[in-house]
Amino acid sequence: MSAIRLENLVKRFGAFTALKTMDLAVDDGEFMALLGPSGCGKSTTMNMIAGMERPSEGRILFGDRDMAGVAMGQRGVGFVFQNYAIFTHMSVRQNLSYGLRMGGRPKAEVAQRTGAIADLLQLGDLLDRPAAGLSVNILQRVAIGRSAVMEPAIFLLDEPLSNVDAAFRAVMRTELKQLQRQFRQTMVYVTHDQLEAMTMADRIAVMDHGVLQQVGRPLEIYNDPANLFVARFIGSPGMNLLAGLPLETAAGPVVDLGAIGHSPVLAPAQAAAARRARGAVVYGFRPEQVATVPPGHGMAMPVSFVERIGARTILHLGHGAQGAKAVFENDVGLSPGSMAHLAPIPAAIRLFDAETGVALRGT
Amino acid sequence: MAEIAFRHVTKRYGRTLAVDDASFTVADNEFFCFFGPPLSGKSTILRLILGLEKPDVGEVLIDGRVVNAVSPAARNIAMVFQNLALFPHMTAAGNIRFPLVERGVPELQIRARMADAAEKLHITHILHKFPGQLSGGERQRVAIARALVRDPAAYLMDDPISALDARLREETRVELKRIQREAGRTLIYVTHDQEEAMSVADRMAILEHGAIRQIGTPSQIYDHPATAYVARFLGSPMMNILTATRQGYSVSAAGAAIQLAAPDLTGIASLGLRPEDLRVSPWAGGTGSPATVIEVEPLGGHTVVTLEAGGTRLRAMLRGQPDIRVSAQVALTCDPARVHYFGDSGETLRPSHQGGSE
């Protein structure tokens, strides 16, 4: 019923194409994140789902119903935007109950539903406070509550956490996820923050320059990025990507990484991927999936910088196109100027076509 | 050359205590970070160092000299503000040279200093562009270059990279650290991002309500927080702090779900567990504290799991991508040596034989 289907969706603004032929199916009750940098088309997509923008081409279906010509107010969707629009002359309770009261719901029901959403969002103690004096954090919570209380079948959120502070954002991530688990709405969540998408979404649609790059579960996208853009964008820090050339050696297939030397011998799946390459490749591995090895057994890279962040150590290695990072959960005893000898975990290596940026897969 | 110090500085705005009896010494060439929540006094401290405010009580010192009465201009300290304040009608080069032109520095010297700063910040190729043609990161570098060419005794930066997106912040903070080392100047830095603070700072001060709660290297503060407040403020996800009670030879928390051998401490009111120090395994009865999985947040390199044990919520950060499902029953364990203990007023309790150096 509240599944969303985007078919050949295109949006142009004059000569500028904001969205290029997008197909996406969001299941009923699914939490889908639209993730990408600014200008990638994610908000344009959301605005078309909401009915604020009309598609230049293609269709939007809710269930089997084509939404063309259906006005925004008739679509039965709830929204929350980055800039909360709270009535500051009203109390928290009046804000939360506004939609229900306007819809003429019985008083008892209004009180019951307002109370329930307030409890869920930890606004119970603030119900009679005027909205005017509340912090940005709390106002955004009220904005979410005001939409959620209507129990829309489809809930659209556009960067709802980008104005709240970091500690509060972590709390809100958990709350939003639980809200969705409880009400089972179909949720479309626009964000530029890969962390929010990874931690909350059932699936993520990664976008760049108006083009859908990949759709998948968070760990699918993290482990098997479809191309270099996704590999860089997902993860913190992003995937290490080194320019190289596949090479057969007596020991087995490797990737020649220029000044860094040869990669360790490729595992069978990666070797099969390397054989599909038509020329130069990009050798990718996650900063977390690296082990230190004795000299001569891995890649030798000079340490340029060491960040220690709590229990984590981030080593910055090499520079420029042959630069990489490695993350360790303890202090590995390396300092700037020293040489790090590292080997990525063989199964975690990903290869990309250097020309097209597309992932090379073994099978 | 600049050593910057406060001696018992207090500053009030009306009835608000903005800075509360603050004392610290920032060494010459040090990258020193003030870290605290909004309104904890960070920006007021910067304004006091710059000379834009005067202390109500106490002394501000530069290189051992009291400067309470010295004008901002005579202090020779450069400031990079949060909002970059580049002149939109001037090119990047025009913006960078502006403070030197104002001071009547000879043209040859201006060119040399500008070329040097531009090279350090990797902006030589964009010097001819106007701010409107630059990305946020590029504008930031131009603003820093403008501060750099002045060759001041010290730099102050107020959350200078907060406007950049997460990926660019990760890169820029490392650049800032490199620039500070190469420039060889004292840098006093304010940020609200704990990861950024720990990454860049040689030492840092943690602020709460205008008072300095702890000064030390990021590792010292992270590993040995002076109070529960400081402990929660550094680290993401934040430290789990649970009310604890001592019964004979054991300490219990989370409705007795967590039981630990009592350490040699008196006055335990709560205990602190860093999320990365917690281990989670399938519940098999016996060892570990029984807990229920409430939420699983996969981050790729690690996984944050929200748990409920004895009616208390806590978060664990596990390495890799463990197969843990919401509502699963698990056993929670931790290394007793990694547990932090706090007293009634949140102070860290230390065994008496370790001495009290804090």
B317 touches B278 (CB < 8 A)? yes
Q: Which two tokens stand for residue A174?
A: 């958990």
Residue B295 lies in a domain: yes
Same structural domain for residues B165 and B55? yes
Calculate what percentage of chain A has a pLDDT beyond 70: 99
Closest CA to A318 of A249, A243, A236, A246: A243
CA pair distance B342, A153, nearest whole angstrom: 47
Same structural domain for residues B216 and B173? yes
Same structural domain for residues B143 and B197? yes
DSSP conformation letters of A31-78? EEEEE-STTSSHHHHHHHHHTSS--SEEEEEETTEE-TT--GGGS-EE
Closest CA to B205 of B68, B93, B46: B46
User: Is A229 an 8 Å CB contact of chain B?
Assistant: no
**Domain C-terminal end among B226, B248, B279:** B226
Taking CA atoms, what residue in A is nearest to B175?
A305
Calculate what percentage of chain A has a pLDDT beyond 90: 71
Residue B90 lies in a domain: yes
Backbone region of residue A235 per phi and psi (left: phi > 0; alpha: psi in -120 to 50; beta: other values): left
Residue B248 lies in a domain: yes
The domain that holds B296 is classified in CATH as 2.40.50.140
CA pair distance B164, A359, nearest whole angstrom: 29
Give the pLDDT band (50/70/90) at residue B41.
very high
Q: Which two tokens stand for residue A5?
A: 């289907």
Same structural domain for residues B123 and B53? yes
Calculate what percentage of chain B has a pLDDT beyond 70: 97
Same structural domain for residues B218 and B248? no
pLDDT tens column, B194-214:
999 999 999 999 999 999 999
The domain that holds B16 is classified in CATH as 3.40.50.300
Q: What is the pLDDT of residue B143?
A: 87
User: Is A253 an 8 Å CB contact of chain B?
Assistant: no
- With vertex at residue B222, the alpha carbon angle to CA A323 and CA A337, rounded to the nearest 5 degrees, is 30
Beta-carbon contacts of residue A7 (< 8 Å; ≥ 6 apart): A23, A58, A59, A60, A61
**Domain C-terminal end among B194, B226, B258:** B226
Same structural domain for residues B257 and B209? no
Q: What is the largest CA-CA distance in chain A?
A: 80
| Residue B97, pLDDT above cutoff 50 | yes
CA pair distance A322, A301, nearest whole angstrom: 9
* pTM of structure: 0.88
DSSP conformation letters of B179-213? HHHHHT-EEEEEES-HHHHHHH-SEEEEEETTEEE
Residue B78 lies in a domain: yes
| Residue A238, pLDDT above cutoff 60 | yes
Same structural domain for residues B248 and B222? no
Helix (H, G, I), strand (E, B) or coil at B56: coil
CA pair distance A83, A160, nearest whole angstrom: 8
**CB under 8 A, 24+ apart: contacts of A46-54:** A46/A156, A46/A158, A46/A188, A46/A190, A48/A9, A48/A11, A48/A19, A49/A4, A49/A6, A49/A77, A49/A154, A49/A156, A49/A188, A50/A75, A50/A77, A50/A79, A50/A156, A51/A75, A51/A77, A53/A11
Where in the sequence is the domain holding B248, given as residue range(s)? 237-350
Taking CA atoms, what residue in B is nearest to A192?
B165
DSSP conformation letters of B232-253? HHSSSSPPEEEEEEEETTEEEE
| Residue B335, pLDDT above cutoff 70 | yes
CB contact under 8 A, A329 and B192: no
Taking CA atoms, what residue in B is nearest to A38?
B165
Residue B250 lies in a domain: yes
| Residue B357, pLDDT above cutoff 50 | no
User: Is A318 an 8 Å CB contact of chain B?
Assistant: no
Q: What is the largest CA-CA distance in chain B?
A: 79
Tally of domains within chain B: 2
Residue B321 lies in a domain: yes
- Pick B218's closest partner by Cβ from A195, A238, A308: A308
Q: What is the pLDDT of residue B82?
A: 64
Give the pLDDT band (50/70/90) at residue B9.
very high
Residue B200 lies in a domain: yes
CA pair distance B109, B149, nearest whole angstrom: 10
Give me the domains of chain A, ranges plus CATH numbers. 4-226 (3.40.50.300), 237-360 (2.40.50.140)
Same structural domain for residues B187 and B315? no
Chain B residues at the A interface, defined by Cβ less than 8 Å, are 37-38, 165-167, 170, 174, 177-178, 192-195, 198-199, 218-219, 222, 234-238, 274, 276, 294-295, 297-302, 304, 306, 319-321
**What Rg value do the Cα atoms of chain B yield, rounded?**
24
pLDDT tens column, A242-301:
999 999 999 999 999 988 888 999 999 999 999 988 899 999 999 999 999 998 888 899
Same structural domain for residues B301 and B270? yes
| Residue A179, pLDDT above cutoff 70 | yes
The edge-to-edge listing of strands for the beta sheet with B154-158 is: B77-80, B154-158, B186-191, B31-35, B203-208, B211-216
In sequence order, the β-bridge partners of residue B78 are B155
For an interface test with A, the pick among B299, B302, B308, B323 (most A C-beta atoms closer than 10 Å) comes out as B299
Closest CA to A288 of A233, A329, A241, A323: A329
CB contact under 8 A, A287 and B301: yes
**Domain C-terminal end among B202, B226, B250:** B226
CA pair distance A47, A41, nearest whole angstrom: 10
CA pair distance A341, A266, nearest whole angstrom: 17
Task: Say which residue the tokens 């940005």 belong to.
Answer: A136
Same structural domain for residues B153 and B285? no
CA pair distance B72, B67, nearest whole angstrom: 10
CA pair distance B32, B293, nearest whole angstrom: 40
Q: What is the pLDDT of residue B356?
A: 43
A80 touches A144 (CB < 8 A)? yes
User: Is A224 an 8 Å CB contact of chain B?
Assistant: no
CA separation, residue A240 to residues A288, A301, A324, A344 (Å) = 10, 13, 5, 10
Closest CA to A26 of A6, A11, A41, A42: A6
Same structural domain for residues B163 and B120? yes
Residue B358 lies in a domain: no
Same structural domain for residues B320 and B339? yes
Over range B316-337, report the average pLDDT. Answer: 93
